[in-house]
Amino acid sequence: MLIEKDKAISSLTSWKIGGPAALLLIPDTKEELAEAVKTGKKAGKFFLLGNGTNILARDEGISCPIIKLGKRFANYNIEGQTLRAGAAASLISLAVKTAGEGLAGFEFASGIPGTLGGAVIMNAGANGSEMKDIIIDVLVYDIEEEEYKTFSNEELNFSYRNSLLKNNNRYIVLEANIKLSQGDKNQLLEKIKKSKEERMSKQPYEYPNGGSVFKNPPGMSAGKLIEDAGLKGFSINDAEVSTKHGNFIINKGNAKAEDVINLIMHIEKVIKEKYNINLEREIIIVG
Ligand SMILES: Cc1cc2nc3c(=O)[nH]c(=O)nc-3n(C[C@H](O)[C@H](O)[C@H](O)COP(=O)(O)OP(=O)(O)OC[C@H]3O[C@@H](n4cnc5c(N)ncnc54)[C@H](O)[C@@H]3O)c2cc1C
């Protein structure tokens, strides 16, 4: 198993922020994973890292072991209209691959930069679709019982950017079965191209960021609320509310987690004062 000590978490997250990871374990087999979990349990707790695109890691770093599934957990195969993929697989690659095979259903995820595991946990979604719509079932490792379990779509209790598996520190997603349908390869690839162009024009791809910071309040857009409150462009040191999209905070170079957290709290305060709305965070603060 690949083991690294004191690796900068900033190199493992899309925000490029975060202090040292005391111990990073990268298991590549189920046996290595069991070993990594044992180390984590001995330490009292551990953190399961996907592609780091929905987390803000604190400047002090993460003192408990971090487990990141290795490349062998990114394998996938397609049988008929069912995709079976490992949790470390890139959502963008899976979306492009399945569209290229003329299979419809996954193209909504073609711009979401996370792993399949992170997307299951978060019930990631875009363009009116979410993981809930395509998941058949998910294989997990239950760290309490130290055994494998399969959860059906219904059992996963998906809701907006949430699932049974989120924040419970008990299950590691290992694989998922995904139901697709027959589609037209060229149309699907064209859809992906258009959606990419739209994202590039609306989202701040030029700077490291963590995606949408807040969930949309029911029937509203968090980005629009933040924009209407005049907060676009507001910054604390190198952390800035993107001028392109109000729900994105960009790292202009040397932003610290503390700057981002202070900016998040400022936004929450202004939105509460102006609109009496409590914004709920989509990003997860770790460390
Ligand atoms: C530019 C940009 C655009 C984005 N656009 C979207 C979008 O359109 N829609 C959307 O929904 N999200 C979007 N996101 C957010 C993010 O990509 C998704 O939430 C994604 O699903 C997170 O996956 P990850 O692998 O990066 O997870 P991480 O950020 O590494 O982790 C997120 C959570 O999942 C847990 N986790 C990760 N893998 C596993 C596993 N195998 N088993 C158990 N727990 C696990 C972690 O412990 C953590 O709690 C965007 C982010 C960025 C930076």
Ligand 1 atom 34, closest CA: 118
Kindly give the distance from the C-alpha atom of residue 54 to the centroid of ligand 1, in angstroms, as a whole number.
4
Phi, psi at 24, each rounded to 5°: -110, 120
Q: CA 140, 54, 78: angle at the middle one, nearest 5?
A: 45
* Residue 99 to residues 17, 54, 193, Cα–Cα distance (Å): 33, 25, 11
List active site positions: 161, 212, 282
Output the furthest CA–CA distance in the chain (Å, rounded): 53
Kindly give the distance from the C-alpha atom of residue 235 to the centroid of ligand 1, in angstroms, as a whole number.
24
Tokens 């290795």 correspond to 70
- H-run or E-run covering 78: strand 76-79
Q: In angstroms, how far is the first alpha carbon of the chain from the final one?
A: 23
Give the whole-angstrom CA distance, residue 196 versus residue 207: 16
In terms of Cβ atoms closer than 10 Å to its own Cβ (0-12, 13-18, 19+), residue 129 is: middle
The class that CATH gives domain 2-68 is alpha beta
Which atom of ligand 1 has the smallest separation from the CA of 115?
25
For residue 54 and ligand 1, the question of a CB distance below 6 A is answered with: yes
The pLDDT assigned to 168 comes to: 77
From first to last of its 287 residues, the chain has per-residue pLDDT tens of: 999 999 999 999 999 999 999 999 999 999 999 999 999 999 999 999 999 999 999 999 999 999 999 999 999 999 999 999 999 999 999 999 999 999 999 999 999 999 999 999 999 999 999 999 999 999 999 999 999 999 999 999 999 999 999 977 899 999 999 999 999 999 999 999 999 999 999 999 999 999 999 999 999 999 999 999 999 999 999 999 999 999 999 999 999 999 999 999 999 999 999 999 999 999 999 99
Task: Decide if domain 222-286 falls under CATH 3.20.20.70.
Answer: no
For residue 223 and ligand 1, the question of a CB distance below 6 A is answered with: no
Which atom of ligand 1 has the smallest separation from the CA of 116?
25
For residue 65 and ligand 1, the question of a CB distance below 6 A is answered with: no
Give the whole-angstrom CA distance, residue 225 versus residue 213: 13
Give the whole-angstrom CA distance, residue 188 versus residue 127: 14
* Residue 252 to residues 192, 244, 255, 268, Cα–Cα distance (Å): 28, 14, 7, 21
Give the whole-angstrom CA distance, residue 23 versus residue 18: 14
List the domain boundaries for the chain: 2-68, 72-188, 222-286
For residue 176 and ligand 1, the question of a CB distance below 6 A is answered with: no
Provide the pairing of β-strand 20-26 with 66-68.
parallel
Task: Decide if domain 72-188 falls under CATH 3.30.465.10.
Answer: yes
Kindly give the distance from the C-alpha atom of residue 115 to the centroid of ligand 1, in angstroms, as a whole number.
7
The pLDDT assigned to 169 comes to: 81
Residue among 121, 149, 282 whose CB has most ligand 1 atoms within 8 A, to mutate = 121
* Residue 199 to residues 63, 249, 271, 279, Cα–Cα distance (Å): 35, 15, 25, 23
The pLDDT assigned to 99 comes to: 97
